[in-house]
Amino acid sequence: MKAVRVHRHGGREVLRLDEVPDPVPADGEVLVRVRSCALNHFDVDLRENVSRWPISLPWTLGIEFAGDVAGVGAGVEGLAEGDRVWVLHEIPCLECEYCLADQDNLCLAARMWSVQMPGGYAEYVAAPARAVFPLPDAVSYDVAAAGQIVFTTAWHMLITRGKVRAGETVLVSAAGSGVGHAAIQIAKLAGATVITTAGSDAKLAAAREDGADHVVNYRRENVTERALELNGGRGVDLVIEHVGGEQFGACLAALRKDGRLVACGGHAGEVVDLDIIPLFRNEWQVIGSRTGTTREIRLVMDLIAQGKLRPRVHAALPLAEAAEAHRILEGREHFGKVVLNT
């Protein structure tokens, strides 16, 4: 089969289209013909070796994907050749204390595609049957691949960690990213007022289409001042922050007293200044958040199938153009997700 692999760590040139052996499904596994694999900034981090996850080279990237069942191993029930499916991006152990507490997103022994298992920049993947779920005809492969991680991450941030309530005001940083556009839609579904930021007017217009009530161009405007102004100086109830760097402090300062900031990423700066005085005087809550649990992932995929959440696919490129897909991602030109069609 064809697969795009990283041969050494570095720039986009290290992505190469290779011919590799087809995976063979073991007992309890399903062979999936990948049709669409979504990119995440994590892919770029793995490629550059700045992800803090070790991989052995050469290695196949691609953490979330959808496709068709192309074969089943012994003992697999309920899935048959030709079924349209999506695949859980991280497979929990089901045995550790977190898995037993319905927090399997914190599993101590999870296996993630493209980290512990070769990923979906490939024509075929062999997956444990328990990680493979039916994909309704109404949902395209691209949308299924694009929706899983960012919508689940945003769901976990807003609903589970941030405990958003109807009527609250939520500030979402970086509207154009995968998590940003997902967070806007989920916050609106939850009945919140949404203020969001982006660095271009085109992205802000798209954010309004996704339901954002107020938009702030962070290149032209002061995010803290505008966010405060937009809700009468009171401060926002909840910040969904996934950028880091200077935006972390700018968004934190826009919180009301006892407001919550939920953080899930830091590509603009992983280590930030934090002034402890306003933190305790205002009783701000800074909350870390990872991707969601399997239960949340399945719920989010159902909401996507119902049309209540709408992952945006900015670009779909053939597998051979993986380097160009990385270029789009690194250039931050996109609104929503970039996918590879294998």
Residue nearer to Zn ion on the CB measure, 153 or 294: 294
The H-or-E segment that residue 217 falls in is strand 214-217
Spatial separation of the C-alpha atoms in residues 44 and 50, rounded to whole Å: 9
Per DSSP bridges, beta strands 111-112 and 90-91 are antiparallel
Spatial separation of the C-alpha atoms in residues 203 and 30, rounded to whole Å: 39
Q: What is the DSSP letter of 21?
A: P
Q: State the CB neighbour count (10 A cutoff) for residue 31.
A: 20
Report the chain's terminal Cα–Cα distance, integer Å. 10
Q: What is the DSSP letter of 173?
A: S
| Nearest-approach distance from CB 106 to Zn ion, in angstroms | 8
Residue nearer to Zn ion on the CB measure, 111 or 310: 111
| Nearest-approach distance from CB 51 to Zn ion, in angstroms | 21
Return phi, psi of residue 333, to 5°: -85, -15
Residue nearer to Zn ion on the CB measure, 98 or 124: 98
Please give the residues from 36 up to 95 whose contact with Zn ion meets the rule CB under 5 A: 92-93
Residue nearer to Zn ion on the CB measure, 100 or 320: 100
Return phi, psi of residue 179, to 5°: -65, -40
Please give the residues from 85 up to 104 whose contact with Zn ion meets the rule CB under 5 A: 92-93, 96, 99
Residue nearer to Zn ion on the CB measure, 128 or 147: 128
Identify the residue among 6, 91, 107, 145 touching Zn ion (CB under 5 A): 107
| Nearest-approach distance from CB 107 to Zn ion, in angstroms | 3
Q: Is 323 in the site for Zn ion (CB under 5 A)?
A: no
Contact footprint for Zn ion (CB under 5 A): 92-93, 96, 99, 107
